[in-house]
Amino acid sequence: MIDQRERYERAFARFEPPPDAFGRFLTYHDRRRQRRQVTAGVVGIAVFVAAIVLVASSPFERTDAPGVPGAGAATGPSVPPDPDRASSIGLPPEGADPSSPERGELVITYYGRPEFGVLQVLVYADGRVIWREEYGSNSADGISTGFLEHRLTPEGVELLRSGVITSGLFDRDHHFDEGRNVPYADLIWGEIQVDNGDRFVSVRWGAAMGTADSPTTPEQMTALMRLNDLFSDLASALPASAWEDPEIRAHVPSRYAVCYSHLQDRLNRPLEPSEVLNLLPTPAEDLLLGRDRTYQPTNGARGYEEVCSELTTEEARLLEGILRDAGSSRHRTTLTTGSLEYAVPAPAPIEEAYIRFEPVLPHGQWSLFPG
Amino acid sequence: MPEPWSFERFFEEHQPRLFGAMCLITGDRQEAEEIAQEAFARVWERWDRVSELEDPAGFLFRTATNVFRNRLRRAAVALRRSFAPSPPADALAAVEDRDDLLRALRPLTPRQRAALVLTGYLGYTAVEAARVLGIRPSTVRALTTQGRSTARSHLEAIG
């Protein structure tokens, strides 16, 4: 590996950067800022014009394309998160109230890349909306928001669910392409699953989710883009009356799955828990021993499963303290998920094993951003 | 507001390597510079947080590969709409050809180059590289295998 890195370093050195790279960067940055100001102005004017049009006509009379639930009504207040309460990166602070109830029934899931970063939204029958995104405005560490939570009324859940189902896309399972036959298509990839009262119907799009079974028509493209917009900003898209509690909080799980992984390219198989447990201090081993269960991460991770040990949040905090005090491990929060992770030195060929703390979500699984 | 001097030091330290990596991936110096500039701009906007990360350079490279991925997607869409696409000038051909690695990478597609640079140099796992490139881990593995095989054949052919 070191030889390979050195070869790349040597290769990079052959590309001489342009002179005054920082000065050129500052020029680029200024132009970029000016472009954004112009774009913001144009968008502002467009929104103003659109608002006038919306006021003049009822959105529910439109039949040309599926509508967004509650469009045209007063939208929900987007209550910005309290910085002290809205971070779910790592483990929750002591005394934080866990999300209630502990168990929940999924109604809708969104998992995809509407723009730059990955977004995941889980809607539960009890009204909870649990979500996280990369590079979002509520980002706790500059990259991931960690899991956040706010709450819909029962009517709000039904409004959202029926809005998704009546988009015209959920008559059966579909896998659309990213819109290669539609001019100016801008879909990347994603999946929405919704409970239609009988089963979960899945609509996927984009090559990253597998092989498309049908080309996307312009009407379907419009519907998918509207759903992308809807899930990207539920707080603004749904009417105020749909929200029981619009304040965004950190999602505080009741339980954690402690999962093991490694440099996957080297072994091409999941680690057996015992391979990692043997590397840990005895108190940590005692906490984890015999508590294995298999998790199948929700969304986009078909065929990918891990054996993890399930702990209460208090036990997870205790384990984290043991690993931290052991001193031989470094820790980090993984860039995209916000999960806490410890790296433990291991004998070859593993070399380094990772112990990840994944929040167990109310439907009993944890969720990875696997790409 | 970011602290300009500390960001400038970060820029000076990592720009050459990022520029080089993007040259290898894109095969185009202009494209490489634009991607690097956009990545640094995004890092600068969040510098107060990114600077406190354990690995700010990792964030920079991840941002750059995200920018590359999005541009590749837009380019693919544009290519489908255009009549006669002209091939981009290849930066790899413009540098001296003494390095085996550079010669090996030349015949590869941008996706194969990206997969190899991400996993081989930046140390991403297949899952992490897949997330950055917006493809599946199995596709990353296939791209690296194809890329290595093509590179090996190319080197054998040119002696």
Question: What value does the mean pLDDT take over residues A77-85?
Answer: 43
pLDDT tens by residue, B81-102: 333 333 344 444 444 444 566 6
pLDDT tens by residue, A325-350: 876 555 555 544 557 778 787 887 77
**Nearest CB partner across the interface for A208, out of B117, B125, B135:** B135
Question: Do A187 and A277 share a domain, yes or no?
Answer: no
Write out residues 23-62 of B within 8 Å (CB-CB) of A: 23-24, 29, 32-34, 37-38, 40-41, 44, 46, 49-50, 53-55, 58-59, 62
Question: Do B53 and B68 share a domain, yes or no?
Answer: yes
> Of B95, B110, B143, which marks where a domain is finished?
B95
Question: What value does the mean pLDDT take over residues A275-289?
Answer: 86
> Of B75, B95, B115, which marks where a domain is finished?
B95
Interface predicted TM-score (ipTM) of this complex, two decimals: 0.71
Check whether A252 has a pLDDT greater than 80.
yes
**A286 located within any domain:** yes
**Nearest CB partner across the interface for A15, out of B20, B80, B123:** B20
pLDDT for A153 = 97
- Enclosing domain of residue A351: 255-359
Question: Do B128 and B65 share a domain, yes or no?
Answer: no
Question: Do B42 and B65 share a domain, yes or no?
Answer: yes
Least confident of A39-48, A127-136, A311-320, A325-334: A39-48
pTM for the whole structure: 0.58
pLDDT tens by residue, A178-223: 776 665 555 777 889 999 889 999 999 876 666 778 788 888 888 9
Question: Do B24 and B84 share a domain, yes or no?
Answer: yes
Q: What is the CATH number of the domain that holds B83?
A: 1.10.1740
Check whether A264 has a pLDDT greater than 70.
no
Check whether A24 has a pLDDT greater than 60.
yes
> Of A250, A272, A305, which marks where a domain is finished?
A250
Question: Do A295 and A169 share a domain, yes or no?
Answer: no
**A39 located within any domain:** no
Question: Do A233 and A267 share a domain, yes or no?
Answer: no
Higher pLDDT, A163 or A354: A163
- Enclosing domain of residue B46: 1-95
> Of B56, B79, B95, which marks where a domain is finished?
B95
pLDDT for A307 = 67
Kindly state whether A7 is in contact with chain B, defined as any CB-CB distance less than 8 angstroms: yes
Check whether A67 has a pLDDT greater than 80.
no
Give the number of domains in chain A.
Answer: 2
Question: Do B83 and B159 share a domain, yes or no?
Answer: no
Question: Do B125 and B111 share a domain, yes or no?
Answer: yes
Higher pLDDT, B103 or A310: A310
Check whether A269 has a pLDDT greater than 90.
no
Question: Do A101 and A214 share a domain, yes or no?
Answer: yes
Question: Do A240 and A312 share a domain, yes or no?
Answer: no
Listed as ranges, residues in chain B with pLDDT below 50 are 1-3, 76-98
Question: Do B5 and B50 share a domain, yes or no?
Answer: yes
Higher pLDDT, A287 or B131: A287
Question: Do A241 and A259 share a domain, yes or no?
Answer: no
| Cβ contact, residue pair B99, A180, below 8 Å | no
Question: Do A201 and A270 share a domain, yes or no?
Answer: no
| Cβ contact, residue pair B77, A143, below 8 Å | no
**Nearest CB partner across the interface for B49, out of A29, A142, A370:** A142
Q: Which residues of B touch A24 (CB under 8 A)?
A: 33, 37
- Mean of the per-residue pLDDT values of chain A: 74
Question: Do A271 and A173 share a domain, yes or no?
Answer: no
Q: What percent of chain A has pLDDT over 90?
A: 23
> Of A250, A267, A287, which marks where a domain is finished?
A250
**A108 located within any domain:** yes
Question: Do A124 and A239 share a domain, yes or no?
Answer: yes
Choose from A31-45, A67-81, B36-50 the range with maximum mean pLDDT.
B36-50
pLDDT for A101 = 95
pLDDT for A189 = 77
**A6 located within any domain:** no
pLDDT for A185 = 56
Question: Do B61 and B106 share a domain, yes or no?
Answer: no
Check whether A283 has a pLDDT greater than 70.
yes
Give the number of domains in chain B.
Answer: 2
Check whether A282 has a pLDDT greater than 80.
yes
**Nearest CB partner across the interface for B59, out of A12, A143, A178:** A143
| Cβ contact, residue pair B99, A11, below 8 Å | yes
pLDDT for A60 = 29
Question: Do B26 and B46 share a domain, yes or no?
Answer: yes
Check whether A250 has a pLDDT greater than 70.
yes
- CA A247 to CA A77: how far, in whole Å? 9
pLDDT for A265 = 46
Question: Do A298 and A234 share a domain, yes or no?
Answer: no
Question: Do B110 and B69 share a domain, yes or no?
Answer: no
> Of A205, A220, A250, which marks where a domain is finished?
A250
Question: Do B118 and B90 share a domain, yes or no?
Answer: no
